[in-house]
Amino acid sequence: MKIAWKEYQKDIADDNYFYARSCIRQNFFPGSEAAFLNILRQDLGRDVYEDPRHTSCTGIGYHSDIVPLETIMTVVARQFSLMTEAGYENFVPSCITSFGIYSEALELWHDFPELEEKAHEYLYKATGREFKKPKNLAHTSDVIYHHREEIAAKAKRKLVNVETGRPLRGVEHIGCHYAKIFPKAGVGGSEFPYVLAGMIEAWGGEVVDYPERRHCCGFGFRNYLVMANRGYSIANSKQKFESMAPYKPDFIVANCPGCAMFLDKWQYAISEMEGTFYGPDRQGIPVLTYEELAGLVLGYDPWDLGMQMHQVAVEPLLDKLGVEYDPSAKYLGKDGKFIGKPEECAIGSYTKNIL
Amino acid sequence: MVNWGYTITRVRRVDIDSNDMSYSRKLLAEFPELQSCIACGSCTATCTAGNLTKFNVRKLQTLVRRGEYEGVRKELEKCMLCGKCRLVCPRGINIRGLVQKLKKELPVK
Amino acid sequence: MSKKVIIIGGGVAGMQAAVTLEELGIRSVIIEKEDGLGGKLRRWDRLFPTMTPAEEVLDELKDRVQRSGVEVMTSCEVSEIGCEGRMVTLKDGSSLESDAVVVASGFDLFPAELKEEYGYKIYDNVFTTVDLERMFRNGGVRTVDGRIPKTVAFLHCVGSRDEKVNQRHCSRVCCITGVKQAIEIKQEHPDTEVYSFYMDMRMFGPGYEELYRQAQQEFNIHFVRGRISEASQTIDHRIQIKAEDTLIGLPLKMTVDMLVLIVGMKAGESNLRWSRCQGVDLYPSSFVKPKNLFLGGVESDSKHIFYAGTVTAPKNIGESIDEGIAAAHRVAQRLKEE
């Protein structure tokens, strides 16, 4: 981490973003996307535009061999046409797989201009729309990274253990589609990625550089989707947990919706299948999105950030950070109504001062 | 423990850190010429058993050197002990002797 | 007035070229950018395959230079070759006239940090072959915190045969260097387990294959055919490596106390400057292209520019010294013709 990442920098637009949401996150981390918009608009005073007509990028289908290239290129072209129509040039997707898809489309069009022609043609024939390519393509985490110092300046708390005064140790996971396909598209490249590490450091925490840091979480789309293949999806996450556990990380922050979901939920699955826990006291390692991390730093309420949706209980981390929260409000919705509660399990529930 | 219809796949990589290397070390001390194998494959190319079954003596001895013993002893049953492997080896390794040694020393597993 | 030849570079090839020219009655001047003669050899401890101390070769060459009365300019760098070898310009802006130039500017060591997946200059216990020579000279091989390593892994072909770093060529001498250093570690610490990860072992010189076999059979060095894909640091500052043992077709993981990257030869950065002079062409690898690979290995397309040593391709020390002799004779012949 001493030098290498500095070689890889990318242009990240400073303002006026066209925002595209993620399928997985809207279901599993809905609070994160809301937090992104709040942080950008309210805390940082930036302009973010959303168009309700935008769709899935169909990346999951593409990577599962059910959406062909021509189709996904046309979907990408349509998203860009919405951006063009709204007068924006900076495209910001909220998903690593989408980011990979958009990067791949732009790269393909650059290398094979005839494919770009086809995309224009298909889109026009199907919808009568036209599009311009974005001037700047950045992932939502790039945008948070870009503003990390500004966030640090407005921070209500640091990533520091309030009891011991020590920096909290964070494992970061950038996800394969962020920089393994196009290393130059990622801050810090793929071997020593800095996009999340930069946030952790800027906000007072310490980054854990553990041996399996670069290893895939194992999601693998078609691998997870077919039940018989889930065994080797989960084995990849397990390899990472085993490698990071000796460092006693206080949290994991993930870049990719799929990674965040699997690093969180596989901890539960492993605990139920094998009785293994990677945190202390039969607890897991809390898995956060970077918006949740930024939100906590900025003083957002953890339940407003949607952290009750996590499989691994986040309370141990909240206690270390000194975040005040109301345990009885965990499963209450915005309107104060009970939203339902998952069944009790060791990794998902936490009582303070458990010994 | 819960069963969701799948298990956690065992990692199949050779893990030198956790493998028991003691037999590998003993074998190489007693049979140092084994290290000079350059994997030319002449032994397997000429092997009577190797042409009829998946028996691959070059690969088997490499597995043993890496501390991977499981199934090797059973696989060695396929060797017909003709000795042609030793005859063709450009490094002069007594492969037939190695097979006999391994059959004597490796656990039947 | 006697003829004068400028030798660019005071490594082994340049020193020998100068000495041979003096023997042939031609005045020569060595221009060396470092503060002393010897080039890369100054940083080496012992030489393959005979384990001869590098100093023995270096002292003898320096002695020859001194006895023959060659003029030596150190801490002096040539910036460009002009007029097809009839003059050179120095970095300080001055210029020197000459009757011919022998380019013996050598090679650069491949900067291992470019292969960032191996963590050189990032993780404490990742070293290069050059670092190891320094350790041999300074009393022994130790990890960063001064311990005797219990396991050491060597990785061959770092910066050789690798398109990703624009190094498509084979650097030739690194295979045998790795074998030599592995043996030296075993000689120093017989209980240390040494693993060498390689793609091909290219033992091209006399005694090399024999040394390789000795490394295998006598020193029990584990040669694993497969290239390390990634190195990372463990919690106790050891290095975890991943490779495939391609001969059994399985991925392999192990943790070692030290990882040694066997760095290759990169074309000298100065080659680009030389190529501005008419008659000097470069290969795509940036090594200088001699006039003819078979009949003119030390000559250029310019009548007054000659080559010796690794400026044209990776070579070992003996070959480089011989090229110094060959280049000097070619120069002498050419000057006689004029």
pLDDT at C300: 96
Q: Does residue A3 lie within any of the structural domains? A: no
The segments of chain C whose pLDDT lies below 70 read 1-2
Instruction: Answer yes or no: is pLDDT of A190 > 90.
Output: no
**Euclidean distance between the first and the last CA atom of chain B, given in angstroms as a whole number:** 29
For residue A96, the distance in angstroms to the closest alpha carbon of chain C comes to 22
B43 found inside a domain: yes
Per CB-CB distance under 8 Å, the chain A contacts of C234 are 211
What range does the domain containing B88 cover? 39-105
Domain identity same for A156 and A119: no
Q: Looking at residue A5, what is its pLDDT?
A: 56
My answer on whether A128 and A175 are in the same domain is: no
* Residue B99 belongs to a domain: yes
C146 CB burial (10 A radius; 0-12, 13-18, 19+):
exposed
Does A128 lie in the same domain as A96? yes
Question: What pLDDT was estimated at residue C1?
Answer: 45
Q: Indicate the residue of A3, A4, A209 with minimum beta-carbon distance to C233.
A: A209
Domain boundary among A99, A116, A140: A140
Asked if the C-beta of C164 comes within 8 angstroms of chain A's C-beta atoms, the answer is no
Given a contact cutoff of 8 angstroms between Cβ atoms, the answer to whether A93 and A102 are in contact is yes
pLDDT tens for A72-121 read 999 999 999 999 999 999 999 999 999 999 999 999 999 999 999 999 99
Asked whether residue A168 falls in the same domain as residue A102, the answer is no
Q: What is the pLDDT of residue A6?
A: 65
For residue A155, pLDDT beyond 50: yes
Q: Is position A353 within any domain? A: no
A131 & A262 share domain: no
Query: What residues pair up with C239 in beta bridges, in sequence order?
Result: C233, C256
Residues A129 and A30 in one domain: yes
More confident position, A56 or C83: A56
- Whole-number pLDDT of residue A27: 86
User: Which token pair is B105?
Assistant: 């020393």
State the average pLDDT over residues A261-268.
96
| Chain A adjacent subunits, 3+ CB pairs under 8 A | B, C
Residue A301 in domain = yes
Q: How many domains does chain A have?
A: 2
Q: Are residues A249 and A173 in the same domain?
A: yes
Strands C107-109 and C126-128: unpaired
User: Half-sphere exposure (CA, 13 Å, Cβ side) for A255?
Assistant: 37
Mutation choice for A interface testing from C114, C118, C234, C235 by most A CBs within 10 A: C235
Interface probe, candidates A215, A234, A265, chain B, greatest B C-beta count within 10 A: A234
The pairing of strands C230-233 and C95-97 is: unpaired
Render pLDDT for A321-333 as a digit per residue (tens, 0 to 9): 999 999 999 999 8
Residue-level pLDDT at A354 = 45
Q: Is pLDDT at A3 greater than 60 in this prediction?
A: no
Kindly state the helix (H) or strand (E) to which residue A236 belongs, with its residue range: helix A230-244
For each of chain B's 109 residues, which pLDDT tens digit applies? 788 889 999 999 999 999 999 999 999 999 999 999 999 999 999 999 999 999 999 999 999 999 999 999 999 999 999 999 999 999 999 999 999 999 999 987 6
Whether residue B54 is contained in a domain is answered as yes
Does residue A86 sit within a domain? yes
Q: Report which of C327, C303, C330 is spatially closest to residue C315, judged by C-alpha positions.
A: C327
A5 domain residue, yes or no = no
Domain count, chain B: 1
Against chain B, the chains showing at least 3 CB pairs within 8 Å are A, C
Q: Is the pLDDT of residue A307 over 60?
A: yes
Amino acid sitting at position C155:
L
Q: CA–CA separation, B78 vs C175, rounded Å?
A: 37
Question: Could you tell me if residue A2 is inside a domain?
Answer: no
Structural domains of chain C ordered from first start:
4-106+268-337 (3.50.50.60), 112-265 (3.50.50.60)
Residues of chain C neighbouring A1 (CB-CB closer than 8 A): 122
Expressed as residue numbers, the domain containing A45 is 10-140
Residue B21 falls inside a structural domain: no
- Does A192 share its domain with A256? yes
Q: Which helix (H) or strand (E) holds C5?
A: strand C4-8
**Reported confidence tier of residue A353, pLDDT bands at 50, 70, 90:** low
**Confidence label for A256 from pLDDT (cuts 50, 70 and 90):** very high
| B13 interfacial to chain A (CB closer than 8 Å) | no
Count Cβ atoms below 10 Å from residue C11 Cβ, excluding itself. 31
Whether A2 and C122 lie within 8 Å, measured CB to CB: yes
**What burial class does residue C193 get, using C-beta atoms within 10 Å of its C-beta: 0-12 exposed, 13-18 middle, 19+ buried?**
buried
Domain for residue A1, yes or no? no
Contact C230/B at CB under 8 A: no
Find the CB nearest A4 among C116, C230, C235: C116
- Specify if A81 maps to a domain: yes
Q: Does residue A236 have a pLDDT over 90?
A: yes
pLDDT for the residue numbered A223: 80
Residue A98's CATH number: 1.20.1050.140
Phi-psi region of A181 (alpha: psi -120 to 50; beta: other; left: phi over 0): alpha
Cβ pairs bridging A and B (under 8 Å) = 35
CA separation, residue A175 to residues A29, A225, C218 (Å): 17, 18, 46
Q: What pTM, to 2 d.p., does this model score?
A: 0.92
In the structure, what pLDDT confidence band is assigned to residue A229 with cuts at 50, 70 and 90?
confident
- Boundary residue ending a domain (A140, A159, A179): A140
Phi, then psi, of A350 in degrees rounded to 5: -150, 130
State the amino acid at position A216 in one-letter form: C
Q: Which of C262, C260, C102, C259 is nearest to C171 (CA)?
A: C262
The encoded tokens of residue A208 equal: 């854990």
Domain-ending residue, one of A140, A173, A203: A140
* A232 reaches C (C-beta below 8 A): no
* Shared-domain flag, residues A109 and A60: yes
pLDDT average, residue stretch A248-267: 96
User: Does B19 reside within a domain?
Assistant: no
User: Which of residues 108 through 147 in chain C touch A, CB cutoff 8 A?
Assistant: 113, 116-117, 121-122
The whole-number pLDDT of residue B38 equals: 95
Same domain, A259 and A286: yes
How much is the pLDDT for B107?
82
How many percent of chain A have pLDDT more than 70? 97
A96 and A181 fall within a common domain: no
Residue B17 lies in a domain: no
One domain for residues A186 and A267: yes
- Using the Cβ of C230 and the Cβ atoms of chain A, whether some distance falls under 8 Å is answered with yes
Nearest to A191 among C117, C121, C234 (CB): C117
